[in-house]
């Protein structure tokens, strides 16, 4: 029985461990993230001072903390130079791409993150000049989840825009503000919460499947035979074999008694209790004490022999008590019938 209990406890621990693991972050979807961009370089007049543009992030949620994203983008820069006859406009268009690594501080509805990015670009100035650039960015931002498949997004970054050739207008470092949204593909995975565990425990506390008076949560010996007396753990102490009668003044079992013992043997085989069993025989007060003692011993042996023949695995020890332990005082034949009985008593631990 202890072996069965250990197995049950092990299985419960495994299920609990699995449930705990399943509560961890599970989302690993791909997504797109279109953004609009505003750039301010802080350069003096005569240089490209600010710009507007757009980008499209294509990314993947890696785990609870990291996203990786590839983002092609375009930015249109403007500026002017004061000259005789009026200012001369300067314009430039930058086409490039970045690889973002985003670190998320939380994955609740509001999702703040830090980001670093690196990439490159090509510039065109006033329709003809060309310049190659290295781009590096670092900043902070946040997503806000409106639905499982739609999140608002915004971040602020410092962009290091480093020229790799000698073409005008030189480095264009500056502040970049991105505003847009994020669309993950597919259903958002839902973790299996352990909130159901207390409900399951509460449910088993309200059940007594074998009817022995001990609820299923603490019953260490499920499947107890009906009518048995059990201890606080739900394990067998004794059971009266009601209806196991003998022919008059003998130890010969009646046909009805044999049918009851057949059912008893099946129960003991299916739910084997490892401890030894005492088969206790009792009689009514008719006859002398000595005669009743001998009769009770013979009847106890008859029941033990029959159960062994039916394959009961427990060791059976027949013992007669005669008329020493009556259930009721005998005032009628019905009372005497109650005292004529056989009981199975589980011995030791």
Mean model confidence pLDDT for the chain: 82
**Among 234, 251, 208, 216, which residue's Cα sits nearest to residue 346?**
234
> Beta 236-240 vs 277-282: how paired, if at all?
unpaired
Distance CA 281, CA 337 (A): 13
pLDDT attached to residue 306: 93
Interval 85-102: pLDDT, tens: 545 567 778 889 999 999
Confidence of residue 227 (pLDDT cuts 50, 70, 90): confident
Token output for 182: 């994020």
Residue 3 has pLDDT above 50, yes or no: no
- What's the rounded mean pLDDT across residues 70-76? 92
Residue 63 has pLDDT above 90, yes or no: yes
**17-21, 181-185, 289-293: which is most confident:** 181-185
Token output for 105: 């501080």
pLDDT attached to residue 125: 67
**Among 167, 161, 140, which residue's Cα sits nearest to residue 43?**
161
């Amino acid at each position: 029985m202890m072996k069965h209990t250990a197995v049950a406890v092990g299985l419960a621990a495994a299920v609990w461990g699995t449930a705990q693991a399943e509560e961890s972050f599970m989302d690993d979807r791909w997504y797109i993230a279109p953004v609009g961009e505003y750039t301010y370089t802080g350069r003096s007049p005569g240089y490209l001072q600010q710009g507007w543009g757009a980008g499209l992030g294509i990314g993947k949620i890696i785990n609870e903390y990291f996203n990786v994203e590839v983002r092609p983008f375009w930015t249109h820069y403007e500026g002017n130079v004061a000259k005789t006859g009026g200012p001369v406009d300067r314009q430039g268009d930058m086409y490039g791409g970045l690889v973002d690594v985003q670190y998320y501080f939380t994955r609740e509805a509001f999702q703040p993150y830090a980001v670093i990015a690196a990439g490159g670009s090509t510039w065109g100035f006033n329709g003809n000049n060309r310049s190659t650039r290295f781009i590096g960015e670092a900043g902070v931002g946040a997503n806000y989840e409106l639905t499982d498949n739609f999140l608002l997004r915004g971040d602020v970054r410092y962009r290091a825009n480093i020229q790799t050739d000698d073409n005008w207008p030189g480095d264009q470092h500056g502040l970049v503000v991105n505003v847009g949204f994020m669309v993950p593909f597919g259903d958002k995975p839902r973790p299996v919460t352990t909130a159901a565990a207390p409900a399951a425990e509460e449910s088993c506390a309200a059940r007594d499947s074998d009817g022995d008076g001990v609820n299923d949560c603490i019953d260490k010996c499920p499947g107890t035979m009906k009518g048995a007396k059990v201890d606080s753990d739900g394990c067998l102490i004794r059971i009266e074999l009601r209806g196991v009668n003998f022919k008059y003044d003998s130890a010969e079992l009646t046909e009805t008694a044999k049918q009851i013992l057949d059912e008893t043997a099946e129960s003991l085989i299916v739910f084997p209790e490892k401890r030894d069993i005492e088969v206790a025989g009792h009689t009514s007060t008719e006859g002398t004490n000595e005669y009743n003692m001998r009769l009770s011993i013979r009847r106890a042996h008859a029941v033990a022999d029959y159960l062994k023949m039916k394959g009961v695995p427990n060791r059976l020890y027949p013992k007669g008590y005669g008329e020493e332990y009556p259930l009721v005082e005998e005032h009628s034949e019905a009372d005497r019938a109650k005292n004529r009985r056989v009981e199975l008593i589980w011995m030791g631990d």
